[in-house]
Amino acid sequence: MSPSRRSPGVAALVATTTALVLVAVSLIAGRVSAPVDAAPGSRSAEAGFARDMQVHHDQAVEMSMIIRDRTEDEEIRLLAYDIATAQARQSGQMFGWLAVWGLPQASPEPAMTWMHRPAPGGGDGHRHAEPVDDPEGAPAVMPGMATREQLDELRADSGIAAERRFLELMIAHHAGGVDMAEAVLDRSTTRAVDDLARSVIASQESEIRLMERLLSER
């Protein structure tokens, strides 16, 4: 069939396909010409953040799943679903970074070591949450993490009591996550890490404001 006799549908398909090919070519060219970040080392802030924030996010997912079973409030259930899906996706992204960087998922040093090293230039300008002790003796070194006892209390609650406990725990948990994201921004030279950290700060600060409102209503 000659170009002049193509049906409108075929012509539209050809035009769309051509446009997609051109977009793909431009993206490939951009990736080839763009500068590439060197892979971080195993003891770098980027690797430490990727490992520790996975643990931090996984607890947020756990708390969100608990409250979805303990409340009938649709606004709380929607918030919990949003937190769980967003943080599970980000946790998978950080797992993928370590794999791409050729680094082990297990840390070669204690958790949060990266956050307690001085930032380049001396001082990071942020006040970070202090570690707290787990009631069973293990140090909960990640800021904002709930203890096992607090998680058990959340599981034992229901209705408004569970909602209040969840909101209190998740506000503190999000604040700790923001601290960690700000700390890695002060220490990272990897664009993907910086982008995710900024996303964590923006989304979790927004959710903190929402949760503070929900808590005040209860």
**Residue of 49, 63, 87, 80 lying closest to 145 (CA atoms):** 63
Alpha carbon of 104 to those of 11, 34, 47, 194: distances in Å? 51, 27, 9, 21
The dihedral of CA 174, 176, 177, 178: what is its sign? positive
Q: What are phi and psi of 205, to 5 degrees?
A: -65, -40
Boundaries of every domain in the chain: 1-34, 40-216
Per residue of the chain (218 residues), give pLDDT as tens: 444 444 443 334 333 333 443 334 333 333 333 345 688 999 999 999 999 999 999 999 999 999 998 999 999 999 999 999 999 999 999 999 999 999 999 988 999 999 888 887 654 444 343 343 343 333 347 899 999 999 999 999 999 999 999 999 999 999 999 999 999 999 999 999 999 999 999 999 999 999 999 999 98
The pTM (predicted TM-score) of the whole model is 0.74
**Residue of 111, 114, 181 lying closest to 142 (CA atoms):** 111
CATH class of 40-216: mainly alpha
Does residue 53 contact residue 138 with C-beta atoms inside 8 Å? no
DSSP notation for 6-48: --HHHHHHHHHHHHHHHHHHHHHHHHHHS--PPPPPTTSHHHH
